Structure 1
Amino acid sequence: MNTTLPPSRDLPSARHAEIRAAVLVAAAPRPSRRWVAPLVTAAVALAVISMVAWFAPWNPGTPAAQPPRPTSGPTTSAAPSVDGIAAEDVPAIEKGCGQVTFPRVTFTLLAVLTDEAGRLALLRGEAENGVTYLIECILDFTPAMPYNGSGGTLDGFVSPLSVDLDGASAGGDAPGGKAEYAGKLGTEVLAGRVSPDVVKVTVTRDAQTREAKLAGGLYVARLVHPADWVIPEQLRPPIVRAYDKNGTVLAEIGV
């Protein structure tokens, strides 16, 4: 009987790449609930590229599986006009906001909130593995960065109200801000899901209350602060309230 072992052979280069990808996915940490830094910038798969302040999805759950790598680039929906956005401009917003957050996910534009801080888009996406994503996206952030977004995956919904996104951005004139962000207002953004009987959602912190934009079973609201606003170390939770058509409070969440 021959007991001599066969000579060792190197793995094919493709197999090396597969093993490396699997190790990177397994080692990737889940995002913490609160990310804090002076100013929001574009995020790719919840990774902070520059100065960003964002929170992971509200409802705890098991880690979402990584979206499978598509054989071709994601497509955008042929959505109609949304909140004054021309139909022909919708695909560009869906693609642009998707590219700065989750490039492998196909997103649908649901609503655009316009206030003194500019335009803020709310988009929902579906990955090929069935995972649902919710992102907010600042439109026309800077000439070099027309789309600037962040967000995360959606876990189970507890009716009638959830808070799935909760983030804050310091003003552009806050200490340490970049020159290209000068004059930009500080903001807090909250978004989530509502049941069909909810017709109004408000967000309140201290003396400021804002009514949310509702669309497709989702809402988005933004509190606006001066350009020199700095995110407090102990930021008190806002209060989110959902109302029915009679003005009755159906739910109240202190985030």
Structure 2
Amino acid sequence: MNTTLPPSRDLPPGRHAQIRGAVLAATRRPNRRWIAPLVTAAAALAIVGLVAWFTPWTGNGGNAATQPTSQETTLPAPSTSTSDVSEPVAGVSPDERAAIEDGCARSGFPDETLTLKQVLTDAAGRVALLYSDRVAVVCTLDTPPTGYNPGGGGFGDFTPPVGLDTSLASAGGDVAGNKSQYAGQPGTDQFGGRVSPEVAKVTVTVGADSVDASVANGTFLARVLHPTDWLIPENRRALVLRAYDKNGTLLAEVTP
């Protein structure tokens, strides 16, 4: 009996691409809808890894290591009524609120009616979190050329007390190939999501970095700043969300 294996042969032309496509299709998450581009100079260089944007990994489908209440109820998306006077946005006048909602929509989400939930100000400037009934949007403000730089996408159901809806990253302005007008701008990780009423504080840890999020109007928003020559890592870093009540009691620790 001949036990010699036949000689190996190269795959036919195009077979590698077919196999890769099948693997990607099999692993694609079902609740990912679509992703809107970041409108920056770095976005034009996305093909070389200068900017990336992501829909949430699971909506809020992470593992809750500490979950005192076993709530299974899912809540709908935040209200998108722009006339909801019960949700004032701290530090933003009604006229500026309308301008932000319109500008962020026109710059990346023209088919959506966005409602501003909050504006966060840090060392890199201002960033806003907005929702429609279909998308969650993180929008950098005061950026050229339009003044509004939105990114985000669809989100899943929310299981209290905290859930991630959008996660974005952008490389630093001093990365080789970027436009000179963005020189000196830090790289960023940006995270936005929803919280239930009892949540008073949210911390966001990504890799070795940890920040306190801004909590307002049933949402949280956090931005982690990196050096100006920071490149987006090729591999996803561990992300942990921790929600606390007003007494500092840990309500949940979630790894989306």
Return the TM-score normalized by structure 1: 0.69
Specify every segment of 5 or more residues in structure 2 that has no aligned partner in the other structure, as ranges. 1-29, 61-79
Q: Which residue pairs with 1:77 in the alignment? A: 82
> 2 CA distance for matches of 1:205 and 1:122?
19
> 2 CA distance for matches of 1:156 and 1:205?
22
* C-alpha displacement of 1:253: 2.1
Q: Which residue pairs with 2:138 in the alignment? A: 136
Confirm or deny that 1:120 pairs with 2:117: no
Matches within 5 A, 1:8-27: none
* C-alpha displacement of 1:181: 1.5
Confirm or deny that 1:96 pairs with 2:93: no
118 and 53 in structure 1: CA distance in 2 versus 1, 3 angstrom threshold? same
Q: Which residue pairs with 2:216 in the alignment? A: 215
- Counterpart residue identity of residue 255, structure 2: G
> 2 CA distance for matches of 1:76 and 1:179?
39
Percent sequence identity over aligned pairs: 45
Q: Which residue pairs with 2:204 in the alignment? A: 203
> 1 CA distance for matches of 2:142 and 2:81?
19
- Counterpart residue identity of residue 217, structure 1: G
Superposed CA deviations along residues 130-186 of structure 1, whole A, max 9, x for unmatched, are xx32111000112x1310011112221122111111111110001222222111111
> 2 CA distance for matches of 1:33 and 1:230?
26
> 1 CA distance for matches of 2:239 and 2:33?
15
Aligned length: 199
Q: Which of 38, 41, 49 is matched with 1:41 structurally?
A: 38
* C-alpha displacement of 1:86: 2.1
RMSD, aligned α-carbons: 2.9
* C-alpha displacement of 1:226: 1.2
Q: Is the 8 A contact 1:94 1:107 kept in 2?
A: yes
Q: Is the 8 A contact 1:203 1:210 kept in 2?
A: yes
Superposed CA deviations along residues 72-117 of structure 1, whole A, max 9, x for unmatched, are xxx9824666221222211111000011222121111110000011
> 1 CA distance for matches of 2:139 and 2:31?
19
> 2 CA distance for matches of 1:232 and 1:201?
24
Q: Which of 113, 116, 127 is matched with 1:109 structurally?
A: 116
Q: Which residue pairs with 2:253 in the alignment? A: 252
